[in-house]
Amino acid sequence: TWSAVPAGPPDPILGITEAFKADKDARKINLGVGAYRDENGKPYVLNAVKKAEEFLTAAKNDKEYLPITGLADFTKNAAKLAYGAESKPLNENAIAITQSISGTGALRIGGAFLARHYPHSKIIYLPVPSWGNHTPIFKDSGLEVRGYRYFDKKTVGLDFNGLKEDLQNAPEGAIVLLHACAHNPTGVDPTQAQWAQISDIVKEKKLFPFFDMAYQGFASGSTTRDAFAVRHFVQEGHQIALSQSFAKNMGLYGERVGAFSLTTTNAEEKARVESQLKIIVRPMYSNPPLHGARIANTILSRPELYQEWEGEVLTMAERIISMREKLYDSLTKEHSTPGEWGHIKSQIGMFSFTGLKAEHCKALAEKAHVYMTMDGRISMAGLNGNNIEYFAQSVDAAVRG
Ligand code: PLP
Ligand code: TYF
């Protein structure tokens, strides 16, 4: 029956972990997947999460099904975290929201909803480059995927003129996917002034903004500052779609905790939209998992845990920033590695888009046991005091050939 099914390629990001696991060298480093590691290179379970789990164990909750749109307290608190307590649609009960299977599931529900109900276009514009999974998610949702210029290889920064031009030339009504903060894979975000200009173009061209917020808190260490773009657009009167993930900022990767929301005009419209979100979710997976949403909700709703969580988000963000400084110093001062490396310090969030070419990445894996994606992206959190010098030395050797 399956003789005609062709073998598919491995996932370009998750495939790297396989190669890393198979490598027996003690010096090996995995900078592929974007998952936080502590200063000993170990996965990190947040203290706020541990305490929330103790609290949940003591509460002896049952395991009944959640409603189709998930744990209502969780989605209410997730919306407050993203939109802010002062948000107009939030306070007017005009945000349609559903719990989702983390950020990926939120994007997929959003794609499916827009494909079915957004009246003005079936085209979604993604930044070039974008997270590799965006294209298949939106294609499989039934949308047509196009790109807008985002990254300038020459400056290793934002191609702001290209971005503006491409959005200005997009067909009226098209959907535009925006990374709310900590752009993956480039680590390059618009400034607040640039966000204001993007908002103006989106308004003028009647584009529909769809924010992917997978790293709230990871860019600056502050969940409020990282929500700037989302809140600015809402304040400017845009209706938006929003995907949220708690994988990175709460370290809840495998628990799959997220939310998808749409701002609407009023409570009545919200109710209609939410009824259609349910009709999309029900035949896909019926209702979302319980435990992770309970953890996130416990943290978001208990002031002492919330405070501890905010401190831990800051600690994670600061450790990444300190690794950027160390790597920059090592390459420029100790090794005088050929090339410009300032972007390592100026880029934001989990990743650095190093500018290393595929041949360098290949050499790093084969000769130095250092694994990263072939586009030169490294997960900064994979670096720590024990391996950063070896990494810098290996990069230096790879660049010199
Ligand atoms: N969006 C972006 C830009 C991401 O980088 C990721 C994860 O790496 C996600 C969404 C979704 O991740 P998850 O489904 O684990 O929440
Ligand atoms: O490193 C990245 O960009 C992501 C990580 O279910 C990831 O692709 C891994 C698994 C997953 C979602 C995201």
The predicted-structure confidence for 212-260, as pLDDT tens digits, reads as follows 999 999 999 999 999 999 999 999 999 999 999 999 999 999 999 999 9
131 is catalytic: yes
Shared-domain flag, residues 246 and 135: yes
Answer yes or no: is 310 within a domain: no
Of 301, 330, 360, which residue sits at a domain end?
301
Q: How far is the CA of 135 from the centre of ligand 2 (A)?
A: 14
Structure confidence at residue 12 as a pLDDT band (50, 70, 90): confident
Q: Please report whether residue 168 resides in a domain.
A: yes
CA distance 299 to 56: 11
* Domain final residue pick, 254, 276, 301: 301
Q: How far is the CA of 15 from the centre of ligand 2 (A)?
A: 11
Q: Which residues line ligand 1 (CB under 6 A)?
A: 34, 102-104, 131, 179, 184, 212, 214, 245, 247, 253, 258
Predicted local distance difference test score (pLDDT) of residue 13: 82
Q: Does the ipTM exceed 0.85?
A: yes
Single out the catalytic residue among 159, 166, 189, 212.
212
The confidence band for 148, taking pLDDT boundaries of 50, 70 and 90, is: very high
The best mutation among 99, 184, 249, 375 to test binding of ligand 1, ranked by most ligand atoms within 8 Å of the C-beta, falls on 184
pLDDT 10s digits, 64-122: 999 999 999 999 999 999 999 999 999 999 999 999 999 999 999 999 999 999 999 99
> Which of 249, 273, 301 is the last residue in one of the domains?
301
Q: Looking at residue 243, what is its pLDDT?
A: 98
Domain hosting residue 294, numbered range: 65-301
CA distance 119 to 92: 24
Residue 313 lies in a domain: no
User: How many Cβ atoms from other residues are within 10 Å of residue 100's Cβ?
Assistant: 31
Looking at the structure, do residues 38 and 87 belong to the same domain, yes or no?
Answer: no
> What is the token pair recorded at 258?
């997220």
For ligand 1, atom 12, name the residue with the nearest CA. Answer: 103
Q: What percent of the chain has pLDDT over 70?
A: 100
pLDDT value for 175: 98
Q: What would the pLDDT profile of 332-368 be if each residue is shown by its tens digit?
A: 999 999 999 999 999 999 999 999 999 999 999 999 9
Asked, for residue 380, whether it belongs to a domain, the answer is yes
Count how many domains the chain has.
2
Co-location of 146 and 235 in the same domain? yes
Does the pLDDT of residue 320 top 90, yes or no?
yes
Instruction: Supply φ then ψ for residue 40, to 5 degrees.
Output: -100, 10
Query: Which domain CATH number covers 370?
Result: 3.90.1150.10
Residue 54 lies in a domain: no
36 and 98 housed in the same domain: no
**Under the phi-then-psi rule, with left for phi > 0, alpha for psi from -120 to 50, and beta for the rest, what region is 156?**
left
| pTM (two decimals) | 0.96
